[in-house]
């Protein structure tokens, strides 16, 4: 009896399915797309209904031959590609290739690679959803039109090798505009005054912040104002005016979507969006977890929904009651509301079985896999737990016409906090305020001291990968499958750089953004891009014709493109000479930018291929060679001696070329976390010398003279 054929995209997913299905099924992998637009040309007939010209990608011939051979012998074919637009389009292309040899083709869809989920999918096959396919085609063609029309314009006007994209260029615009806000920001000085107080008969001190004068909010602008207030406040009696104590509930966050997983993995693990998605894909497609065999550990990782299947909720509630006690189970299962436009059939990202605890599977997972799985498991379990209850206390204190406030909080019932606490974008760990002594209205207080403190208003922070993903999602730009590729693309193109986990626009990024905003305002408009995403959603729902959508976009775009070709003047972006001659041919050396950042090269390229890393004006402490900036294969900056491999000096922290006043070894600018100001420390780990954080060290610090 002939077997049925199941086709998936990846070999990993195929291996997992082979172990889950019985002998009635064969499983093969298509290795991704089997048809796509050509790389060497536009591949879209704009004069003939935007008809795409699909071709078989290079190297896919043997794969297609194998697929056809397997399909020809099969009783039927089940297309089991991923449950989204991209997966539907792959199934559609597979159907066109396999239909001539076996017309018995059906589409199946499952959101987790487990035996039960796959069996349910096989029992409910369906036809290809053409609306999903058309939404994918529309997006692909829109991106192709913008990319293949705008990029050559940048080559001609700026320099070769540049690229523009319908969504990536808007992401660069967000980074550039944030940088403009930071540059234009003028810090405003302000002061606060904190009183250290205690009850007359007790020694336990607590702090209270000056809030009001005569019922109005206090504003202190200068040190002189602060000192005058301190002198006045030192002479006044302090009395408790009101004590307010109450229970405050704190609710858990929803289980992960693609966006929130990428954000939290960036905050807590320091992972890029791309790295997170690679690991999540492995967890979804299946891993060998010992006696249980190979199984998918999480549900599908490209989703913008927070819905959870009732059965998964039931299992979570049972586990929580057993592991933490009945009081940790809320009276009703928690339900979360997905944002408007989220894919209704999808679930949030969750473990396929809550019984597979992180510690149970840890022996079988790589470090990355374990850390991401633990994050997903904990977030899901916490999302189904009871709220935490905080005991909060606010004390208003009067001193003459002045009002002070002291606050305290402590955990009364931990609830979901037993398992998980959401990260913060500023990188600071959340700490409890602490508690206050027992105070009552009318209590007289003893003033122990007044602490005036100077502050300055802060500019908006630069984007991290986490906050840029959130900004894209909040503005309706991109979809779950696009966030990671967007950020990777703008980094690889040299439009933004990642330093201390913050995204900085490069000079090239600023230039290209300025040109595109000036000449292609519609393409670069955030709201227009968001409306386009909504239109694509309407195509998926069958409420919008994809050809009409393309026509409405392309007509105005082509007109603007024609004007820009005439209006944009060529920009001279000649590489910067560094004032040295090439040691090989004598021509000037210049700074160039490559995939992994800046480097020094001969201006005579390609005739002369001399290159070297960028130096930082500091000599190696081991052999006196020049210290140069290098990058790992993953793009992380480090510093090493230019004489490598003869000299093996390396440092993650930037050498400063100054000697430590205590031990004489080299001082370095310590890497700052989350955009904080770097501090200067001794490179000798046994030495405790450290300078207080100050303004950012200059990029090139010369050795002392």
Whether 585 is covered by a domain: the verdict is no
Cα 272 from Cα 282, distance rounded (Å): 16
Whether 119 is covered by a domain: the verdict is yes
Alpha carbon of residue 169 to chain centroid = 17
CATH of the domain at 290: 1.10.290.10
Residues 283 and 373 in one domain: yes
**Where in the sequence is the domain holding 109, given as residue range(s)?**
4-128
Contact 150, 519 (CB under 8 A): no
**H or E element at residue 409:** strand 402-413
Whether 490 is covered by a domain: the verdict is yes
Bond from prior residue into 575 cis (ω within 30 degrees of 0): no
The widest CA-to-CA distance across the chain, in whole angstroms, is: 98
- pLDDT (tens digit per residue) in 518-538: 999 999 999 999 999 999 999
Residues 376 and 436 in one domain: no
In sign, the C-alpha dihedral spanning 598, 601, 607, 608 is negative
- pLDDT (tens digit per residue) in 435-449: 899 899 999 999 999
Question: Mapping DSSP to helix (H, G, I), strand (E, B) and coil, where does residue 375 land?
Answer: helix
Whether 361 is covered by a domain: the verdict is yes
- pLDDT (tens digit per residue) in 157-180: 887 778 899 999 999 999 999 999
CATH of the domain at 55: 3.40.50.140
Residues 472 and 557 in one domain: yes
Residues 523 and 559 in one domain: yes
Alpha carbon of residue 41 to chain centroid = 32
Whether 604 is covered by a domain: the verdict is no
* 300 counts as catalytic: yes
Residues 547 and 498 in one domain: yes
| Number of domains observed in the structure of the chain | 5
Whether 705 is covered by a domain: the verdict is no
Residues 9 and 84 in one domain: yes
Residues 240 and 284 in one domain: no
Nearest to 286 by CA among 118, 134, 429, 146: 118
Residue numbers of the chain with a pLDDT score lower than 50: 595, 673-676, 694-705
Residues 407 and 441 in one domain: yes
Which one of the listed residues 25, 78, 284, 300 is annotated catalytic? Answer: 300
| 95 HSE (CA, 13 A, CB side) | 22
Residues 264 and 324 in one domain: yes
- pLDDT (tens digit per residue) in 617-665: 788 888 888 888 877 765 577 888 888 888 888 888 888 878 888 888 8
Residues in Cβ contact with 82 at an 8 Å cutoff, skipping those fewer than 6 apart: 9, 90, 300, 302
Residues 263 and 223 in one domain: no
Other Cβ atoms within 10 Å of 417 Cβ, number: 17
CATH of the domain at 443: 2.70.20.10
Cα 280 from Cα 258, distance rounded (Å): 10
Whether 656 is covered by a domain: the verdict is yes
Question: Mapping DSSP to helix (H, G, I), strand (E, B) and coil, where does residue 348 land?
Answer: coil
Alpha carbon of residue 651 to chain centroid = 27
Residues 288 and 218 in one domain: no
Contact 649, 665 (CB under 8 A): no
Residues 313 and 268 in one domain: yes
In sign, the C-alpha dihedral spanning 488, 491, 495, 497 is positive
**H or E element at residue 680:** strand 679-682
Whether 303 is covered by a domain: the verdict is yes
């Amino acid at each position: 009896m002939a077997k049925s054929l199941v086709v998936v995209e990846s070999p990993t997913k195929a291996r997992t399915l082979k172990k889950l299905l019985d002998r009635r099924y064969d499983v093969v992998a298509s290795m991704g797309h089997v048809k796509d637009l050509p790389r060497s040309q536009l591949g879209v007939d704009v004069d003939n209904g935007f008809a795409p010209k699909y071709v078989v990608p290079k190297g896919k011939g043997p794969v297609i031959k194998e697929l056809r051979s397997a399909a020809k012998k099969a009783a039927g074919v089940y297309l089991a590609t991923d449950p989204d637009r991209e997966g539907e389009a792959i199934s559609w292309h597979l159907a066109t290739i396999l239909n001539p040899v076996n017309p018995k083709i059906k589409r199946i869809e499952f959101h987790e690679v487990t035996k039960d989920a796959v069996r349910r999918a096989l029992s409910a096959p369906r036809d290809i959803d053409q609306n999903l396919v058309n939404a994918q085609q529309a997006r692909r063609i829109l991106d192709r039109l913008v990319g293949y029309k705008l990029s050559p314009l940048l080559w001609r006007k700026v320099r070769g090798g540049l690229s523009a994209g319908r969504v990536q260029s808007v992401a660069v615009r967000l980074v550039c505009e944030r940088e403009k806000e930071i540059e234009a920001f003028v810090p405003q000085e302000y002061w606060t005054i904190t009183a250290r107080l205690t009850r007359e008969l007790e020694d336990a001190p607590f702090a209270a912040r000056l809030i009001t004068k005569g019922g109005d909010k206090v504003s202190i602008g200068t040190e002189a104002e602060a000192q005058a207030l301190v002198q006045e406040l030192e002479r006044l009696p302090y009395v408790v005016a009101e004590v307010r104590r109450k229970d405050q509930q704190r609710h858990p966050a929803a289980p992960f979507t693609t966006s929130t997983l990428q954000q939290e993995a960036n905050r807590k693990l320091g992972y890029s969006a791309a790295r997170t998605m690679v690991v999540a894909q492995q967890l979804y497609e299946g891993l060998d977890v010992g006696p249980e065999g190979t199984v998918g550990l999480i549900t599908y990782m490209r989703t913008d929904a927070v819905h959870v299947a009732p059965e998964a909720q039931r299992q979570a509630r049972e586990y929580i009651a057993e592991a933490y006690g009945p009081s940790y189970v809320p009276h009703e299962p928690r339900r979360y509301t997905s944002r408007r436009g989220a894919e209704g059939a999808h679930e949030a990202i969750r473990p396929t079985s809550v019984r597979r605890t992180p510690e149970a599977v840890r022996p079988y997972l790589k470090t990355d896999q374990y850390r991401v799985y633990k994050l997903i498991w904990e977030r899901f379990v916490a999302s189904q737990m009871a709220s935490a209850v905080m005991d909060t206390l606010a004390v208003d204190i009067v001193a003459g016409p002045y009002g002070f406030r002291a606050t305290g909080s402590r955990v009364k019932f931990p609830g979901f906090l037993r398992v998980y606490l959401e990260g913060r974008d500023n990188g600071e760990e959340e700490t409890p305020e602490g508690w206050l002594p027992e105070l009552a209205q009318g209590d007289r207080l003893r003033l122990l001291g007044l602490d005036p403190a100077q502050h300055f208003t802060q500019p908006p922070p630069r984007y991290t990968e986490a906050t840029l993903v959130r900004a894209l999602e909040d503005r309706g730009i991109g979809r779950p499958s696009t966030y990671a590729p967007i950020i990777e693309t703008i980094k690889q193109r040299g439009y933004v750089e990642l330093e201390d986990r913050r995204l900085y626009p490069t000079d090239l990024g600023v230039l290209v953004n300025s040109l595109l905003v000036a000449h292609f305002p519609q393409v670069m408009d955030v709201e227009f891009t968001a409306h386009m995403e909504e239109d694509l959603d309407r195509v998926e729902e069958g409420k919008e014709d994809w050809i009409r959508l393309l026509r409405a976009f392309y007509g105005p775009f082509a007109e603007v493109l024609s004007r820009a070709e005439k209006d944009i003047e060529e920009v001279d972006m000649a590489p910067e000479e560094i004032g040295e001659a090439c040691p090989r041919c004598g021509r000037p050396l210049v700074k160039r930018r490559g995939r992994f950042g800046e480097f020094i090269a001969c201006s005579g390229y390609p005739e002369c291929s001399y290159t070297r890393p960028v130096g930082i004006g500091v000599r190696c402490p081991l052999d006196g060679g020049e210290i140069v900036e290098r990058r790992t294969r993953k793009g992380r900056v480090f510093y090493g001696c230019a004489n490598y491999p003869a000299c093996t000096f390396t440092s993650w922290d930037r050498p400063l070329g100054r000697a430590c006043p205590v031990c004489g070894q080299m001082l370095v600018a310590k890497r700052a976390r989350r955009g904080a100001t770097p501090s200067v420390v001794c490179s000798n780990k046994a030495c405790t010398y450290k300078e207080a954080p100050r303004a950012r060290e200059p990029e090139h610090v010369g050795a002392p003279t």
